[in-house]
Amino acid sequence: MADKSGPETGQSTLSETAVGDYLLANPAFFQTHRALLTKLAIPHPAGGAVSLVERQVEVLRQENRRLEQRLVEWMEIARENDRLLGHLHRLAVTLLIATGRDERLTTLARSLRKDFEADASVIILHDAKAARAVAGARHLPREDDVFTGAAKGLQGAEPLCRPLTEAHSQRLFPDTDARLGSAAFIPIGSGSTAGLLVVASQHPKHFHPGLDTTYLVRLGELADAALRPADA
C-alpha cells in the first residue's frame, strides 16, 4: 500500500519547540552529524547568514566580553576596597598616637575630608551636656526633624545613606555655605544611642542607598574611640 502521508494529507511535523528540546537533550548530536554543520545557516543580526558554528563562536565571544567586563568591575571594586582599608588603617594608627580628645577629633575630621571625600562632617550627640564637652560636636535630640526625616529608618549600628534636602543640610551644617546633596548617617556608641557621625557630600549620589557601608561602620567605631574622655 502506498504511503499517503505528506503535506497534502495533513502529516504532522515536528514543532520548533520539539526540535529545540531534542537538541538540548542531546548536546552531542552534531558530533555525530558533522555534515549538518556545513549545511545549516542562521540569520545574523548584521545581515546575511552564518553557519551554526560561526554563530556559536560569536555567541561565545559576546559572553566572553561580558565576563571580561564583570571581571574589570570586580577588580575596580577590589582596588577601591583596598584603598579604603588603607585609609582606615592609617586613621586608626594616627588616632592611637594622638594626645587627647581634641586632637583625635581634629585628626578624624581632617581624614574625612582628605581620604574619604567628605565635603562636610559633624558629630551629633543626643545628650546636651556631652555635646558641650566635645569641641565641634552639635547637640540634636532624637526627636529632632533630622532624625524623623533625613535619618528616618536608622536602626542599630547600620549606617544610612541617602540624598539630603536643603533644609536638612542647613540644619546639620548651619556654618557650611556649600549645598550638600547626600549624607551618610553613621551610628556611634551602641546602636546610635550616643549619637551620630554625619558625613556629607555635595554630590547627590555620592552617599546613595545602595552603597556598601562596611567601611562606614568602621568609621563609626573609630569616631566612638576618638570621643573617649579628653584625658584618655
- 141 pLDDT band, cuts 50/70/90, is confident
**Model confidence pLDDT, tens digit, residues 161-199:** 999 988 888 888 988 888 899 999 999 876 556 889 999
- 41 pLDDT band, cuts 50/70/90, is low
**8 is a domain residue:** no
184 with 74, same domain: the answer is no
Average pLDDT over residues 58-66: 85
184 with 104, same domain: the answer is yes
pLDDT score, position 223 = 92
pTM of the complete model = 0.68
Domain that residue 74 falls in: 30-97
Which amino acid, 197? L
In the predicted model, is pLDDT for residue 214 greater than 60?
yes
107 with 202, same domain: the answer is yes
105 with 218, same domain: the answer is yes
Please say which residue of 59, 80, 97 terminates a domain.
97
Q: Which residue did the predictor score with more confidence, 186 or 156?
A: 186
pLDDT score, position 37 = 66
- 4 pLDDT band, cuts 50/70/90, is very low
- 204 pLDDT band, cuts 50/70/90, is very high
Please state, in angstroms and rounded to a whole number, the distance separating the CA atoms of residues 116 and 29.
57
**Cα-flanking dihedrals φ and ψ of residue 187, to 5°?**
-65, 140
Residues whose CB falls within 8 Å of the CB of residue 158, separated by 6 or more in sequence, listed in order: 187, 213, 217
Buried b / exposed e along 158-167 (16+ C-beta atoms within 10 A):
bbbbbbbeee
Please say which residue of 97, 114, 141 terminates a domain.
97
**126 is a domain residue:** yes
pLDDT score, position 193 = 63
Q: Which residue did the predictor score with more confidence, 23 or 57?
A: 23
Please say which residue of 47, 75, 97 terminates a domain.
97
The answer to whether the CB of 123 falls within 8 A of the CB of 195 is yes
In the predicted model, is pLDDT for residue 56 greater than 90?
no
pLDDT score, position 230 = 58
Beta bridge partners of 163: 182
Residue 129 corresponds to which cell in the numbers above? Answer: 551636656
- 81 pLDDT band, cuts 50/70/90, is confident
61 with 147, same domain: the answer is no
Average pLDDT over residues 157-163: 87
**12 is a domain residue:** no
Beta bridge partners of 182: 163, 201
State the pairing for strand pair 138-139/120-125: parallel
pLDDT score, position 103 = 93
Within 10 Å of residue 170's Cβ, how many Cβ atoms? Answer: 14
Residue 93 corresponds to which cell in the numbers above? Answer: 594608627
Residue 148 corresponds to which cell in the numbers above? Answer: 524623623
CATH number of the structural domain spanning residue 154: 3.30.450.40
What is the percent of the chain where pLDDT is above 90? 32
